[in-house]
Structure 1
């Protein structure tokens, strides 16, 4: 019975890179904001630099803008970390003959995203590999009506071997063919 149900966990926004960028943007944002305020009030608010020598218009104003923007981005990423946006699981259930894709979204009426597809509507498992400046390695659920539902999370590209093995295991589990998109 347990061999008829497969569940793959999906990591959402709680990844090391998001924690790293939140910290960097927060520290950098305060530095820029304090530099802008120092240039306006002519009081040195930074112990390691002397931004009072900056002319407020345009340099101090731009520093204040960059600092505010950086802090806003830091708070936004912190909120996505707190809410764990994008996390969830993919469940492949041969007993009920359905595939469930469950993800967490932003708070509100539609916080929980649930997509269900009957196994009879699934044509194949697809793999898309594109190299270059923005490489993509994604496993898709290909439906008979030509829709392609991504199954892998947004992340750093995994190795091609690992991706192909995961896709082949899934295709074998669901008794579907594997195709290159």
Structure 2
């Protein structure tokens, strides 16, 4: 859950471990195991009979013999299993969770995110207050109104922090960024590209 903490001037960002990120991997895994692989392997073992859940009468498989259709179904099933497994793995590890901290005493902005296991398991970025031109909140409409938060550094480099379509977060983020700008002496900018 996205949280704005004005006591420590920190933004806590959610990762992939959210309910909606489990729906697509589950569909892909079920489709890969159930539909594609089942039909593809049934054609390989065409002499075996398949018993349907709703019928107690054994029936012949839909495809007889291993051919181009069976190969393509096995390929689709394998692809669905690999992609579904990868997405499920990312959601379980909560990839992308992190925080953005504005430290007034050290004049530093620190971005820390959780990555994949290994040498890049924690990803850190640090920028000086002197490098920051402004903090920009941008609204776009495509087709739903969306709010994005960006750090604009020297040379007009924009670093996207997060974006949301939840209107309840719009006012919270604007209030936090405005107060942060007043406290730290940052320039803040609100751009509305929906008009």
TM range (shorter): 0.7 to 0.9
Q: Partners in 2 of 1:107 and 1:121 — Cα distance?
A: 31
Instruction: Say yes or no: does 1:20 pair with 2:30.
Output: no
Structure 2, unmatched stretches of 5+, are none
The Cα RMSD (Å) is 2.6
Indicate the SS of the match to 2:136: strand
Report the equivalent of 1:158: 166
Indicate the SS of the match to 1:53: coil
1:52 to 44, 61, 83: 61
> If you compute each CA radius of gyration, which structure gives the higher value, 1 or 2?
2
Compute the displacement of 1:48 (Å): 4.1
Q: Partners in 2 of 1:149 and 1:72 — Cα distance?
A: 31
For normalisation by structure 2, the TM-score amounts to 0.77
Report the equivalent of 2:139: 129
Instruction: Say yes or no: does 1:63 pair with 2:63.
Output: no
Structure with greater helix percent: 1
1:140 to 137, 150, 153: 150
Q: Partners in 1 of 2:179 and 2:99 — Cα distance?
A: 19
For this pair of structures, how many residues does the alignment match? 177
Q: Partners in 1 of 2:60 and 2:173 — Cα distance?
A: 54
Instruction: Say yes or no: does 1:169 pair with 2:183.
Output: no
Residues 1:3 and 1:87: Cα distance change in structure 2 (over 3 Å): closer
